[in-house]
Structure 1
Amino acid sequence: MSRASRDAEFTEFVVAHQARLRRVAYAVCGDWHRADDVLQTALAKLYVAWPRMRRSGRELAYVRRIIVNADLDDRRRPWRREQAVLDGHDPAARSGLDPGERTDLLAAVQQLPPMQRRVVVLRHWLGLPVAETAVELGISEGTVKSYSSRALATLRGDLAVAGEAPAGRAGNRED
């Protein structure tokens, strides 16, 4: 593979998936500026591994794993973190929720502990199976189920207090 074709394939992948990956990074990080930094790190690492990843067909899984790991690294080294001064904005995705419900749900998800939030994003937002979520987070399937159960219970309680009912896949369970 020539460098030009490699760059063209990588650029095509980034153009096709960047917006969704940015939203995944935001869901994991909880801050648009950090999400942009984490995504940039993830895409740089993907570029280095592109020939190997392209052959495997697991590019998205690899990038999601890098996003989670980059967020963990950033949290462990707060002295390296840049301070954001403005809130970023992302247009709302189409969903069955009205904007107020979506805002309440996202705020409730952001209040979850980091690992529960990551499990909810991978399992219920991206719809990954338990096994794949476990592999991406480096934890057991039982731990994924446990975190998911606790997170969903917390979300149901938080949203019930706000007069909301959780919608979508959040009630689904895969054993």
Structure 2
Amino acid sequence: MQTTDGDEEFREYVRTRGPALLRAAHQLTGHPLDAEDLLQSALTKTYLAWERIEDRGALDGYVRRAMVNINISQWRRRKLEEYPSDELPETTAETVAFGDVHELLEQALDELPERMRAAIVLRYYEDMTEPEIAKTLGISVGTVKSTVSRGMAKLRAALGLSPR
């Protein structure tokens, strides 16, 4: 198989941006293996469109948008896997070491609904503006604001922080 300059350019892009894109995928999915699958699917779509993408500076946005779209499609196909219960699990109050905060935050993010998690990840991990998030998720700016606000309140509660 003969490689082209575009193939090598794509390989270099994946080598340099892959780790950052994988972190974004992990934040979207909440699970390392799902993140790898999501990124692989997004990179496949990007590779297939590689010659049509004129603005190479917008590649990260293209891949992130593909990841969000693929993730949303998976939410819609996924059957309900969790069922409500009359009993809540017992919780204990523990003193949390600083090193554990990251792990607790990851767990709290995993417990958020998919769209809420995506909005928070795009806002605080990807540093996107509310209009950019609205466009990416296909929702209104007002919905982004309320979703992020409710999500942050849930995260604060899950981490035992005072509400703002």
Task: Please tell me the TM-score bracket, short chain as reference.
Answer: 0.7 to 0.9
Per the alignment, residue 20 of structure 1 pairs with 20
Q: Deviations over 1:3-25 (max 9, x none)?
A: 62111211111111111111111
Per the alignment, residue 100 of structure 1 pairs with 100
Q: Give, in angstroms, the shift of residue 55 of structure 1.
A: 2.5
Q: Deviations over 1:69-123 (max 9, x none)?
A: 21222333349xxxxxxxxxxxxxxxxx943110011111111111010000000
Q: Give, in angstroms, the shift of residue 51 of structure 1.
A: 2.3
Q: Give, in angstroms, the shift of residue 60 of structure 1.
A: 0.9
Q: Give, in angstroms, the shift of residue 40 of structure 1.
A: 0.6
Indicate yes or no: 2:7 matched with 1:40: no
With 46-55 and 100-109 compared, the bigger mean Cα shift is at: 46-55
Q: Aligned residue pairs: how many? A: 145
Aligned residues of 1:130 and 1:141 also touching (Cα < 8 A): yes
- Counterpart amino acid of residue 102 in structure 1: H
In structure 2, C-alpha distance between the alignment counterparts of 1:22 and 1:158, rounded to whole Å = 25
Match of 1:58, SS?
A: helix
Q: Give, in angstroms, the shift of residue 149 of structure 1.
A: 0.5
- Counterpart amino acid of residue 111 in structure 2: Q
- Segments of structure 1 that go 5 or more residues without pairing to the other structure are 80-96
Q: Give, in angstroms, the shift of residue 157 of structure 1.
A: 1.2
Aligned residues of 2:30 and 2:106 also touching (Cα < 8 A): no
Higher CA-based Rg: 2
Aligned residues of 1:61 and 1:136 also touching (Cα < 8 A): no
Q: How does 1:51-90 map to 2 (within 5 A)?
A: 51-55=51-55, 57-78=57-78
Match of 2:148, SS?
A: helix
- Segments of structure 2 that go 5 or more residues without pairing to the other structure are 80-96
With 39-48 and 51-60 compared, the bigger mean Cα shift is at: 51-60
Identity %: 38
Q: Give, in angstroms, the shift of residue 154 of structure 1.
A: 0.9
Per the alignment, residue 127 of structure 2 pairs with 127
Q: TM-score, normalised by structure 2?
A: 0.79
**TM-align CA RMSD:** 2.2
Q: Give, in angstroms, the shift of residue 148 of structure 1.
A: 0.5
In structure 1, C-alpha distance between the alignment counterparts of 2:20 and 2:130, rounded to whole Å = 21
Q: Deviations over 1:116-159 (max 9, x none)?
A: 10000000111111111111111111111111010011111111
Q: How does 1:134-173 map to 2 (within 5 A)?
A: 134-160=134-160
Q: Deviations over 1:28-62 (max 9, x none)?
A: 11221111111110000001111232436321111
